[in-house]
A and B are shown apart, each in its own frame.
Chain A
Amino acid sequence: MSLVLRNIIRRCPWTIINKGSLRFWSSNGQFPSHPMGTEEYENQPRKSITELPDELTEHGIKPKFISGYETTKDGWEWVDNILFKSKIPEPPNHPTPSGWIPPNPILARQWPYFVDRDRFHSYALYVRILPVMLEYWLHEQHRYYLNIFRRRVEYDIYAQRTRRFSLLELISGDIWALDHDLKNYLTKRVELTNDKSKELPILSQVDEIKRHILIDGEYEEWVADFLKEKGF
Chain B
Amino acid sequence: MIKSLSLTKIFRYCAIVRSIRYFESSSQSSTFSPESSTNSIPQQLPLIVSRQLEYPHIRYPSLQAWLETLGQKRDEKLGIVDLHPSIWQTSPRLDILYENIEWQKTYKTIDWAYTPPHHEYPNMRAKPWPQKGTGRARHKSRYGPQWKGGYKVNGPKGPTSFFYVLPKEKRIEGLCTALTVKLHQNDVHFVDSFDLPTHQPTYLQELSEDRFWGPSILFVDDTDIMPHNIMFACAKTEGFTLMPVYGLNVYSILKHTTLVLTIRALNKIEKKLLHALHSYDTQKDQPPPPPDEP
Contacts and interface: CB of A to CB of B under 8 A. Distances in A.
Interface of A: 84, 86-88, 103, 105, 108-109, 114, 116-117, 119-120, 171-172, 209-211
Given A84-B286, A116-B58, 14 more contacts: A86-B280, A86-B281, A87-B279, A88-B278, A105-B59, A114-B59, A119-B277, A172-B59, A172-B90, A172-B91, A210-B93, A210-B95, A211-B91, A211-B93
Interface of B: 58-59, 90-91, 93-95, 277-282, 285-286
A86 B59 contact: no
Contacts of A171: 91
Contacts of A211: 91, 93
A109 B61 CA distance: 11
A109 B285 contact: no
Given A105-B58, A108-B58, A119 B280 contact: yes
Contacts of A84: 282, 285-286
B58 A103 contact: yes
22 contacts: A84-B285, A84-B286, A86-B279, A86-B280, A86-B286, A88-B279, A88-B280, A105-B58, A108-B58, A108-B59, A114-B59, A119-B277, A119-B278, A119-B279, A120-B280, A171-B91, A172-B90, A172-B91, A209-B93, A209-B94, A210-B93, A210-B95
A44 B58 CA distance: 49
Nearest to A208: B91
A209 B95 contact: yes
Contacts of A116: 58-59
A114 to B, nearest CB: 5
Nearest to B289: A86
Nearest to A105: B58
Contacts of B279: 86-88, 119
A114 B286 CA distance: 34
Which 6 residue pairs spanning A and B have beta carbons closest together? A86-B279, A86-B281, A105-B58, A114-B59, A172-B91, A84-B285
A87 B280 CA distance: 7
A210 B3 CA distance: 31
Nearest to B279: A86
A35 to B, nearest CB: 20
Contacts of B286: 84, 86
A86 B281 CA distance: 5
A62 B59 CA distance: 64
A84 B281 CA distance: 9
A117 B282 CA distance: 20
A135 B286 CA distance: 46
B94 to A, nearest CB: 6
A86 B91 CA distance: 26
A209 to B, nearest CB: 6
B152 to A, nearest CB: 18
Contacts of B95: 209-210
A85 to B, nearest CB: 9
A8 B58 CA distance: 57
Contacts of B90: 172
A35 B285 CA distance: 24
B98 to A, nearest CB: 10
Contacts of A120: 280
Nearest to A87: B279
Contacts of B278: 88, 119
A19 B199 CA distance: 52
A84 B94 CA distance: 34
A88 B280 CA distance: 7
B229 to A, nearest CB: 39
A82 to B, nearest CB: 12
Nearest to A102: B58
A116 B281 CA distance: 21
Contacts of A119: 277-280
Nearest to A104: B58
A84 B250 CA distance: 31
Nearest to A29: B158
A215 B90 CA distance: 24
B180 to A, nearest CB: 11
Nearest to A115: B59
